[in-house]
Amino acid sequence: MGGDFGPHCIVPACISCLAEYTSLHLVLVGQSSLLESLIARYPGVDRARLRIEHAGEIIAMDERPAQALRGKPDSSMRISLELLRNGAAQACVSAGNTGALMALSRYVLKTLPGIDRPAMVTAIPTQAGFCHLLDLGANVDCSAEHLYQFAVMGSVTAEALGTVRPRVALLNVGTEDIKGNQQVKLAASLLQQAEGLNYIGFVEGDGLYRGEADVVVCDGFVGNILLKSSEGLAAMIAGRIEALFKSSLAARMVGALALPLLRRLQGELAPAQHNGASFVGLQGIVVKSHGAAGPEDFKSAIRRALREIEEDLPQRLHGRLGEHLL
């Protein structure tokens, strides 16, 4: 029921994914009458693989996490997570209130042993391909130990998603040992002692986009600012170039060639919107789709969940955390 467009976006995305993945089963959690009426538009759908679970309450996009946690036992978000916890589902995908989803996920699913706080991670494009950035905003006040845990989780996630011996770096204001705030300097000394982790040291903001690391670790405040400012900057650059390409007839013809690339770039640079972001460190798979996601974006989030199910990411994380955590 979450996101700016609710089931009007999510139902078409689900119908499309069911056609694409013939072994996929989906459970839609929310107001059953609304969901039934939306599904009725697709008479060809295989209802044996599309089940509706009624939920009488909705968590609003601006609702406080604490309120969502205490006041709404029958929210679609909470019932989804309970289905996951009880084994009736293998992953939960939501476009709803991020803070509420994180709070409910921690409460219903619990974190993996050794993990204090789950983190939010997504892949962002770089000159060399992409890197996994975490945390993206779930944890705005982080200790060195939290950053250390994020590094371990990021490394295991990158490995599970196909990167061999991922290079793990801490995001910092310089690359020398003396640089950084207290938490980052302390996290560096913890990571230097960690065995089995390919820790390469500090990376700066420009180094991230040059592709100097496969996993970039920061607190959720910094990660959120970096991600959102990058989205804003990409939009600004695309807008300026678009304006230039409309300035004359010749330029307009040129623009016809260049705009598709610029639009694609802009899309790549808003990865949380287009690809979904994972909550890692929980006893279950939770993927957060952007609130403003359209059907194609929500399908990407479902695909991300499928990939994490195939790789059994939480179990894999659980197995590796014992090796790394203090």
Site of interaction with a copy of itself (CB under 8 A)? 62, 64, 125-127, 137, 140-141, 171, 173, 176, 178-182, 184, 204-210, 218, 220-222, 224-237, 239-241, 244-245, 250-251, 254, 257-258, 261-262, 265, 269
Q: What is the token pair recorded at 281?
A: 């460190």
CB of 53 vs a copy of itself, minimal distance in Å: 30
CB of 298 vs a copy of itself, minimal distance in Å: 20
CB of 249 vs a copy of itself, minimal distance in Å: 12
Q: What is the token pair recorded at 210?
A: 């040059």
User: How many angstroms separate the CA atoms of 48 and 25, rounded?
Assistant: 8
* C-beta separation of 229 from 145 below 8 A: no
User: How many angstroms separate the CA atoms of 119 and 252, rounded?
Assistant: 44
* C-beta separation of 169 from 202 below 8 A: yes
CB of 264 vs a copy of itself, minimal distance in Å: 10
User: How many angstroms separate the CA atoms of 138 and 81, rounded?
Assistant: 18
Question: Which of 276, 323, 286 lies closest to 156, judged by CA?
Answer: 323
Sign, CA dihedral 5-282-70-221, equals negative
CB of 6 vs a copy of itself, minimal distance in Å: 21
Closer of 53 and 145 to a copy of itself (Cβ): 145
Closer of 274 and 320 to a copy of itself (Cβ): 274
Using alpha carbons only, how large is the chain's radius of gyration in Å? 21
Residue 59 identity: I
Give the up-direction half-sphere exposure of residue 242: CA atoms within 13 A in the CB hemisphere.
12
Closer of 88 and 128 to a copy of itself (Cβ): 128
CB of 34 vs a copy of itself, minimal distance in Å: 27
Closer of 98 and 105 to a copy of itself (Cβ): 98
Closer of 67 and 193 to a copy of itself (Cβ): 67
